[in-house]
Structure 1
Amino acid sequence: MVAMVYGMNVPLNLHANGDAAIDAFLKVHETVAKHDLGKERNITMIHSQFVRNDQLQKYPKYKILPSFYTLHTYYFADAHVANRGQKQAEYMSPMKDAIGLGLKPTNHTDFIVLPLNQMMVLWSSVNRIPYGKDKPIGPDQRITPYQGLQALTIHPAIQYMEEKSKGTLEPNKLTDLVILDKNPLKEDPMKIKDIKVLQTIKEEKVIYDKNKV
């Protein structure tokens, strides 16, 4: 099936959560694409939750973009420590290492598994604080608020091959944006999750206004 998708020259959005699943896809890729492992094929590895560092090293070589899920550091940290062990749980959704490799990772909610709350997604990537705890899990994988915003804006546009029309505030791009009540780049990182959306604008039209709900 992977060979068929590659042959059709269409994007491949693949779910691979555990490191064994990621190994399975990397092996398939190395078999199917052995003549050109690094060709741009618009491959997104969705979740990449427990990717190992040696696997992550192959992502930029094979042009694989990870879509991480840092909300798990808040909601499911204890379960992952119990099921996967402390070391692997600490490395879940390694955003900082991915960015360090030159990748442009995205971050998602997997709604309806977890709430559709982008400020909470941003908060989890910046702080990585588990529910009921005061210390981070995998503190070396925390990223800056600006990097976290990129994972919610321009990087998804790149993954969907829509970066020419979306993702950043530039002339000739669509005015798809939100107005927030506080600046996440200046707010206390621990308070980012409390930032509220005041308005949502889609192609120059206000489609959500907090004061009119």
Structure 2
Amino acid sequence: LRIYAFATVNSRSHPLMGLLGTGVHTGLGDQRLKLGAFKVMTDGSSSGPTAATREPYTSNCQDHGILYWAQEDLDDLIGQAHRQGFQCTVHAVGDRAIEQTLNAMARAQREAPREGLRHRIEHCGICPVDLRARVHAQRILPIMQPAFFWEFGDGYIANYGQHRADTMFPARSLIAAGVPVAGSSDAPVTHWAPLFGIEQALTRATYDGQVCGPDERVDLTTAIRMHTINGAFASFEETIKGSLEPGKLADLVVLGDDIARVPVKDLRHLPVAMTVVGGEVVREA
């Protein structure tokens, strides 16, 4: 395994808050275990549903979800981590939480300009056009979970309405604008298999057969890049992994069939014939 470990805090009393002020920062470690981002949770979940939204839920006109931090408190926390050299990654699902996160990251960069920290938003769920423009302008990296549509998409339509469900996890729009969106599973919340995520990036289909935002579907090559080189970029490792090139680590899988010829609906079932880590075969089917 290669681990890019987050320091995740959910309150000012969390033990990992002690990292701030010590001088440690993103990147400490080696190719097997590395200290990654300083992570903060700003709102609830898309499936709860407790994501913090600008407009009330379609399923409950009194409900706007949950925000865990006041803007000034989040500004202070992100600012501290940013100044110390941490990549910051923020769990933000609803548009209200994404806006709050972008505000905090913009203030941190304005008050202490630093290049190359590659701040991230985990999920970046309900992300309308105005927030997509800010994600691009601020060079933020969205980490999205296409498999959520299969697991939770029917609930998205019921709770947020079709109009918002269609704008959720807008990978195609952001990638077209030049944002290197990465794909992830969020396991154990959804199935861990990257092939399942790749399939869902192509279909955005729910368990009951509905579709959330067909215009945000991506093609196969883009979906693969989301789950390989873009993920490596999000952890500062694009020079050593994420693609097959001389001098890289040779972490790869050999599939049991041609991924470009298998029907999209069967991608999740595509067998893995061999797993190679660091050039060594660690598993064969």
**TM bucket, shorter chain:** over 0.9
Counterpart mapping for 1:1-213 below 5 A: 1-34=77-110, 39-133=115-209, 135-210=210-285
Q: Which residue of 1 aligns with 2:70?
A: none
* Aligned-partner residue type, residue 251 of structure 2: D
Shift of residue 25, structure 1, vs aligned partner: 1.1
May I ask how many residue pairs the two structures share in their alignment? 209
What is the aligned-residue identity percentage?
A: 24
* Residues 123, 38 of structure 1: alpha-carbon distance in 2 compared, 3 angstrom cutoff: farther
- TM-score (norm: length of structure 2): 0.70
The superposition leaves residues 26-83 of structure 1 with CA deviations (integer Å, 9 ceiling, x where unpaired) of 2222333336889432101100111122101111211101001111111111111111
Mapped partners of 2:80, 2:281: distance in 1: 42
Mapped partners of 1:138, 1:82: distance in 2: 14
C-alpha contact (below 8 Å) 2:94/2:127 kept by paired residues: yes
Mapped partners of 1:147, 1:59: distance in 2: 19
* Aligned-partner residue type, residue 199 of structure 1: M
- TM-score (norm: length of structure 1): 0.92
Mapped partners of 1:132, 1:11: distance in 2: 38
Please identify runs of 4+ aligned residues in structure 1 that moved more than 6 A.
none
Structure 1 or 2: larger helix share?
1
Mapped partners of 2:272, 2:161: distance in 1: 37
Larger radius of gyration: 2
CA RMSD of aligned residues (A): 1.6
The higher-RCO structure (CA 8 Å, 6+ apart) is: 1
Secondary structure of 2:110's aligned partner? coil
Q: Which runs of 5+ in 2 are unaligned?
A: 1-76
Mapped partners of 2:196, 2:184: distance in 1: 10
Mapped partners of 1:58, 1:38: distance in 2: 18
The superposition leaves residues 100-147 of structure 1 with CA deviations (integer Å, 9 ceiling, x where unpaired) of 1101111111111111111110000011111131x5321100001110
